[in-house]
Amino acid sequence: MILVISLVLLALLIATVFVGKRLYNVYHKNLLIRYANKYAHKWHPEEFSIDDARPTFYYADFSPCLHEYCFNEKGEILYEFETGEVAYHPCMIAEYAIVNAEAYLRTNSEESKAKFKIHADWLLNNLKKDESGAGAWYYDFNNSVLQMYFYSGISQGVGISALVRAYIIFNDQQYLDAAISSFKWMIRPYSNNGCLYEEGEWKGWIEEDTEGFHILNGHIYAAIGLYDLWRVTRDTAVHQQFENALSVLKQQVHKFDVEYFSKYSQRPGAYCNNSYHLIHVYQFNILHKITKESFYLDYAKRFENQYYSKGKRFQFYLKLVSLAILKR
């Protein structure tokens, strides 16, 4: 009898530790930062055009999105892993380039202009082109945390946004040529090592990664990159791709809305943390500003309400807890 009781108590102890560890991770990795929006955008204080042929400020400020980084001896930004290992992160480099372009436009600072050029040149010099002239930036992670080598629709799009601003500020055609090269890779079929999904109901979706789970923020950043390129070139083919990206977004966005929060992607169980959910709020506001269509403003308000509603947040917490216990 004592043996049975001891085994039951041991089993309960193991279960408590098992569940407790998962709840601890949920608390520290998500619930604890639920109110923090430090990794989401913020709005610029300046007024600026969003439809003329000379893009200046990006549509929202990227600086709060930058985190976990350091710099090398060249002044290039590097992503820093928890282990202290570092790697080039193409999307982060493009975001930091844009932040410094905006700082230069705001203050006329030569230091900011130089930082912008360092990172615009990194994008220029590290665009890997094929024989067709299409080019991609690769994430080359090879460390104790990640071993990955892939291209991404999000870096193609944000890279374009950085390069067209470099083209305007430095009056140098090679930056625009690189942006066009990125566009060519972005619209290559996903089935042919490109970013553009061309099958079924997701036709026109720009994939952020090579796994094909349709990441929402990546698709929208890529679409905004297309819009920036169209602003500069007025190329009807570019604008058509932008329209296609918006069309599939309208058709599929409901699949990312789970009533109480948004999903990061269509991977099972891939719910947003607070930062990505707020990024969705900003992105739909940006699309509303660009298109003037109420559809995007309605979703921006809906997602914002989900974030600040105590009832919906409580629903989401329960979902996170259940996912943590079941590990799905």
Sequence spans of domains, the chain: 36-254
pTM of the full predicted structure?
0.88
What gap in Å lies between CA 101 and CA 278, rounded to an integer? 24
- Answer yes or no: CATH 3.40.50.300 is held by domain 36-254: no
Kindly give the residue spans of alpha helices, DSSP state H, lying in the chain.
2-29, 90-107, 110-125, 153-170, 173-186, 216-233, 236-252, 274-291, 294-308, 310-326
pLDDT value, residue 23: 60
Q: pLDDT digit string (tens) for 207-219?
A: 998 888 999 999 9
What gap in Å lies between CA 231 and CA 199, rounded to an integer? 28
Residues with Cβ within 8 Å of residue 319, at least 6 apart in sequence: 260, 261, 271
Per-residue tens of pLDDT for the chain, all 328 residues = 676 566 666 666 665 655 566 666 655 555 555 455 568 899 999 999 999 999 999 999 999 999 889 999 999 999 998 888 999 999 999 999 999 999 999 999 999 999 999 999 999 999 999 999 999 999 998 777 667 889 999 999 999 999 999 999 999 999 999 999 999 999 999 999 999 999 899 999 999 988 889 999 999 999 999 999 999 999 999 999 999 999 999 999 999 999 888 999 999 888 888 889 999 999 999 999 999 999 999 999 999 998 887 676 667 666 666 665 665 4
pLDDT value, residue 9: 64
pLDDT value, residue 182: 98
For residue 140, the one-letter residue type is D
CA atoms within 13 A on the CB side of 153: 33
pLDDT value, residue 267: 92
pLDDT value, residue 78: 97
Phi-psi group of 174: left, alpha or beta (phi > 0 → left; psi -120 to 50 → alpha; rest → beta)? alpha
Q: Note whether 263 and 271 are within 8 A (CB).
A: yes
DSSP string, 50-110: SSSSS--S-SSB-GGG--SEEE-TTS-EEEE-TTS-EE--HHHHHHHHHHHHHHHHHH--H
What gap in Å lies between CA 222 and CA 158, rounded to an integer? 7
Task: Tell me which residue has tokens 């932040």.
Answer: 99
What gap in Å lies between CA 228 and CA 43, rounded to an integer? 18
Q: Note whether 218 and 276 are within 8 A (CB).
A: no
